Structure 1
Amino acid sequence: MSKKLSRRQFLTYTFGGTAGFLASGMLFPMVRFAIDPVLKKGAGSEYVETTMTEAEITDSPKAVKFTIHRKDGWYQPPQGEEQTAWVFKQNGKVVALSPVCKHLGCTVNWNSNPQFKDEFFCPCHFGRYYKDGRNVPGTPPAKPLDKYKTKIENGRLLIGPLEKA
């Protein structure tokens, strides 16, 4: 004995299928738009030359600006994107720290608060870091500052990609 399909069931299946087809047609481009930049390989493995010479690097952190050229999703500024790093020597090695606080992404400054000498300080929520980039226990940041890879070529400082902390 075969069961017949009622008119109501037929219309329900037809409208449901049509609605599903239209919804997938609208959702696919949105999902692709959101996921596409994540799937693309980044070109973040290049070193960028800075204006700082090896002789200018001391034991005290100095802010160094440099320009990188990268594609952010679908946008790539023609003049590049200006970045900053805190550069100093520690135990004879060149260290370049990211100025981005790991708490909420504000910018940290060296020796900017007289209450906390010889520390990086984030004014947003009183985040503090030691000179080597480690976060001070009991302050908002839960992780140390990220470090850039560095190398010296022809007497000039070159800054590479970030090494996530």
Structure 2
Amino acid sequence: MNEALTLRCRAAFARKLVAVVLLGYMSIAVPVFLITEGSNEGIIETLLGGCLYLVILGAAIGNAFGLRCKMILDDGGVTFVESASEIRLAWTDITAIEVSGDSHTWEVEVRTATGDHRPSALKCLRWFGQPKSLRQTVETLERHRRAASA
């Protein structure tokens, strides 16, 4: 590989995009409701609604930053670009790449001698089965890892 390859798992990106759209809608709907119906409620309900609005807005902004998640593969290793940070792993440091998860998400676990990493660029919802784009991304990572160690 002569030049860097940038990858995004389409399923993981779609999960973040749906969250941004839904939370963005809620960050508009809650203040509209508070303005139009807030005068009928008490001060405590209005304050709680304002707090709910701030939480929803913060989650929307956090997920929007998550849209920049990607992987940059080159001869030396892989860089996982996260919402607010970057993790650089050399191909020689990676011991295994496995797909795991809980009851509602798929996660890719990148194992190294120093610990396990679960990049958010590779976290997908578990709806119908393992997404094809996640499998392809893991296969690409494995192929580059094997080529670098050979």
Q: Which has the larger radius of gyration?
A: 1
Choose between structure 1 and 2: higher helix proportion.
2
Pair in the same fold by TM > 0.5: no
Question: When the two structures are superposed, what TM-score results if normalisation uses the length of structure 2?
Answer: 0.33
- Asked which structure has the greater RCO (Cα within 8 Å, sep 6+), the reply is 2
Choose between structure 1 and 2: higher strand proportion.
1
Question: When the two structures are superposed, what TM-score results if normalisation uses the length of structure 1?
Answer: 0.31
